[in-house]
Structure 1
Amino acid sequence: MNMSDEDVQRKLRDLFSDERLSVGSTLNPETIVAGARRRRRRRQLMQTTSGMAAAVVLLAGGVTIFTIQDKDNGAAFPGGDQLTVGAASSSLAQPGPGSSAPPVSAPAASTHPASVPPPSTVPDGPVEPPKSTTVTKPPTPRKVTTGALLSPAGFGKLRLGMSEEEAEAAAGPLRAKDWRQACVYGYVEGAAVPGPTSVSLTEADGITVINPSGAVHTPEGIGVGSTEADILAAYPGGTKNGNAYFAPISSVSAYRIALGNDGSVLGILLTRIEQSCQFS
């Protein structure tokens, strides 16, 4: 049952004016009512302020679930004393004067496992520097310089393309002539050539083959004793045919390099690329 302020004042006035009281009271009923009114307002203000502070805490700390339990009437209001807050907001909530500290629930266990750094792959102890890798270079072709020089143009004073008359004028008479179909075979010797040399020629093309009988070498250093690797290094476009390499050196001439059973060079001759005479 709620009583108005006037009713309270009248009851207090009747009480203090009762003659049965042996001692007169110095208390004023209006003063008592006014004090009660102030306490009631203070309590309401504290409740309002507490609710606003809790709301601020909820917004700042990320509160998930909370309830406030009204101690006066036992009714539950949102944003009150009982809070479920995160760890960061729990230190901000302070109990008001004359009230007990609100229970704070423990933060929920994290559903994400703690990040564990991967095991170190660095070995214990000093790390040895990587070993240097040695690059194996292909062997340098061996240069052969023994014997006379057989150039792409000819040998001594003999030249590919010379007619029979020109060859005899330059190197002397052609010896042991032999005619086989359109080809003439023979050899020359003397100061005009480094050593005895067989030749073959035709009327149309002149000298088509120059074949020295002694040891010779080419300007690229291929000679007697050179290997197949040496030949391929000196003449990458060379092709092997049976026991000989055919190595073009110009648009019209080539070396024919004869090989022994061990793959080394036995002899070299100079020939026109297009010719029909035999290699004497």
Structure 2
Amino acid sequence: MDSDLDDELRRLFSDDRLDVHTTPDATDAVVRGADRRRRRRSTMATTLALVALVGSGVGLTQLRSSTDHMSDELLPTASSTASSPPSSPSVSTFTSTSIVTVNPPAPNSNGSTPGNNNGTTGAPPPKQTTTAPPPLPPSESSKVGKLALAMTEADALKTGALVEPGTPAGSCTTYATTSVPDGDAAVISPANGIVRLTFPSFAKTQRGISAGSAVADVKTAYPTATQSGSTLLVQMAGTPKWSYVFETDGATVTTVRMRLAANDCSV
């Protein structure tokens, strides 16, 4: 049995078909591969050496820096402080400007101010005075009942307010009226029409003045009133121009009349 196995093994080993045939350049390929592996290992070793060297250098540098820092912290600072001069305190400077107004000096008896020889330079400016404009004349109606100033005689007769002619006043005609029995209650000019009308005793002006009113009340109601003897005159605004005539006894009003400015009659 064993001899048969040995024979079979010898037959197999002697079989040419099981031989491994190598190419002519197999040896060169093996040598080149070995060279590559050797160079690779040499390069890796060099790299590892450089890394180790760099790492050791960094560690030394850090160690040196740490050592120097610790040395600086342990060194006394009195010498450096003593050698440098003390810093001067910071000073801030500011300028403030204020304006003070004082009263001007009183002028001397010659009209000049103290310290002034010519009496003009430095003198206070002259005071400017303003004059208030005169009050405007008041404006009211120039009618008494149906009659009005400047109305012609014909138009006045048509109103029925004229009663009868009174005493002629030159070329003018006078009339009593239905509300005033006096013969000269209405005075009519041929050229200008009615030039004067008398108020009834009970009638009041538009500002509340009538016969019996105090003179002070007239001046209050009509600030532009001017006095001529015992009569107060108040020029009124309007066209044609006319005035109130307040006849008084010195204290109160006795008669209120309206008079046209263009009065060519003798009354």
TM-score (norm 1): 0.41
Q: If each structure's strand is expressed as a fraction of its own residues, which one has the higher value?
A: 1
**Greater C-alpha radius of gyration:** 2
TM-score (norm 2): 0.42
Q: If each structure's helix is expressed as a fraction of its own residues, which one has the higher value?
A: 2
